[in-house]
Amino acid sequence: MNKFHTPVLLKEVIGFLQVKKGKKYIDATLGGAGHTEEVLRLGGIVLGIDVDEDALEFVKKNFKFQISNSELLPVKGNFRDLNKIARLNNFDKVSGILFDLGVSSFQIDSGQRGFSFSKGGPLDMRMDKDLSVTARDLINSLPKGELYEIFYKLGEEHNARAISNSIVSARRISPIETTGDLSGIIQQAYGIKGEVTDFTRAKLNKRVFQALRIAVNDELEAVSEALPKCLEILEAGGRIAVISFHSLEDRIVKQNFIKFQKDGMGEIITKKPVTADTEEQRINTRSRSAKLRVFEKK
Ligand SMILES: C[S@@+](CC[C@H](N)C(=O)[O-])C[C@H]1O[C@@H](n2cnc3c(N)ncnc32)[C@H](O)[C@@H]1O
């Protein structure tokens, strides 16, 4: 187990992937390779994709043996190009594909990446540092109506109107640069003065931070594009496993799997999403919102 990120629903994912020795798998969200480590241990060969150079660097340092043995191939890329990346790397027929969506603990915990309202840092939020638009750019340049749409639609933030008004007023005075600046503005829009507890801060900020992160990284579109591409590279009997962390993502996964099944492409294995057991939820708070869905290609 590594400190980079604790994998969620590990035993469930591994059970559903039915890993076999010498078979090929794609981890479309490699992160700290928590899930991949187990696939490798069971003899699978893994193409690990991530947009984040920091994640790839971590994996290259910590999995030298498996990489030199050609058991693991870490590659920089966006899973929206999954089929292209797979073919380029000789993974054109695979037995399983995993998506563990969202950000890793490492990304959240690095203040400089700007994902966290509880860590000071620049308003960045790019998973892929090659992207040109940051959260700062969106916050300081989008019209009020577009900010409202982002907060309301991607964060399901009920106070989206007041928050977008407060942002536009604040940026007239000076640019909004940091996670702390934004957090202060959100607090003000809620009419709360003075110091707040960590619990209250999380309650006030999490929806806006989630919405901005999704917008900066175009996360929903990337998942929508990637899922149908999995069918091109999965062999018969191969499985797609997706772990999502909020209802917007989960809806996309559910609807895609229903469509695949209707189109006669295979079968939904998880009639209901699988969630973490009470022990995992106790140990790893991040697992509490996790939902796993699995589809098997015919
Ligand atoms: C939740 S973490 C994965 C953790 C990993 N399963 C583990 O156990 O260590 C999600 C990872 O997916 C990456 N990611 C998110 N969206 C991506 C995309 N569209 N393409 C490629 N990687 C992406 C993030 O940079 C992050 O490292």
User: How many Å lie between the centroid of ligand 1 and the Cα of residue 144?
Assistant: 31
Express each pLDDT in 273-287 by its tens digit.
999 999 999 999 999
Between strands 72-76 and 45-50, the pairing is: parallel
Write the residue with the smallest CA distance to atom 27 of ligand 1.
31
Determine if the pTM surpasses 0.75: yes
* Boundaries of domain holding 284: 10-105+220-297
Q: Please check whether residues 211 and 266 belong to one and the same domain.
A: no
Residue 32 lies in a domain: yes
Nearest CA, atom 22, ligand 1 = 50
Task: Give me the CATH number covering residue 35.
Answer: 3.40.50.150
Classify residue 142: in a domain, yes or no: yes
Instruction: Please tell me the distance from the alpha carbon of residue 194 to that of residue 217, in angstroms, as a whole number.
Output: 32
**Spacing, Cα 172 to ligand 1 middle (Å):** 36
Whether residue 17 has pLDDT greater than 80: yes
| 3-class DSSP state of 186 | helix
Ligand 1 atom index nearest CA of 223: 19
Burial class (CB in 10 A: 0-12, 13-18, 19+), 261: middle
115 pLDDT tier (thresholds 50, 70, 90): very high
pLDDT classification of 4: cutoffs 50, 70, 90 = confident
Q: How many domains does the chain have?
A: 2
Rg of the chain on CA atoms, in Å: 20
CB 139 within 8 A of CB 178: no
Domain membership of residue 3 (yes or no) is: no
Q: Are residues 118 and 188 in the same domain?
A: yes
6, 29, 99: which to mutate for ligand 1, most atoms within 8 A of CB?
29
- The pLDDT-based confidence of 217 (bands split at 50, 70, 90) is very high
Query: Residue 76 falls within a domain, yes or no?
Result: yes
Task: Tell me which amino acid residue 80 is.
Answer: R
Shared-domain flag, residues 42 and 88: yes
Q: How far apart are CA 215 and CA 154, in angstroms?
A: 8
271 shares a domain with 142: no
Best mutation site among 4, 36, 49, 51 for ligand 1, i.e. most ligand atoms within 8 A of its Cβ?
Answer: 51
Does residue 212 have its Cβ closer than 6 Å to ligand 1?
no
Does the Cβ of 74 fall within 6 Å of ligand 1? Answer: no
Judge if 31 and 85 occupy the same domain.
yes
pLDDT in tens, 224-247: 999 999 999 999 999 999 999 999
Residue minimizing CA distance to atom 12 of ligand 1 = 29
For 109, other C-beta atoms within 10 Å of its C-beta total: 16
Give the separation between CA 66 and CA 264, rounded to whole angstroms. Answer: 37
**Is 28 within 8 Å of 97 (Cβ atoms)?**
yes
Task: Please state, for a pLDDT cut of 70, what percent of the chain lies above it.
Answer: 99
Q: What is the dihedral of CA 105, 107, 112, 113, to 10 degrees?
A: -140
Q: Atom 9 (ligand 1): residue with closest C-alpha?
A: 32
Residue 72 falls within a domain, yes or no? yes
What's the first-to-final CA gap in the chain, in angstroms?
A: 34
Task: Check pLDDT > 90 for residue 122.
Answer: yes
Would you state the pLDDT for residue 1? 43
Compute the Cα dihedral for 50, 52, 57, 63 and give only its sign: negative
Distance 127 CA to ligand 1 centre (A): 9
How many angstroms separate the CA atoms of 109 and 113, rounded?
Answer: 8
Residues in the chain: 298
For a pocket test of ligand 1, which of 11, 12, 47, 50 has the largest count of ligand atoms closer than 8 A to its C-beta?
50
Centre of ligand 1 to C-alpha 237, Å, is 25
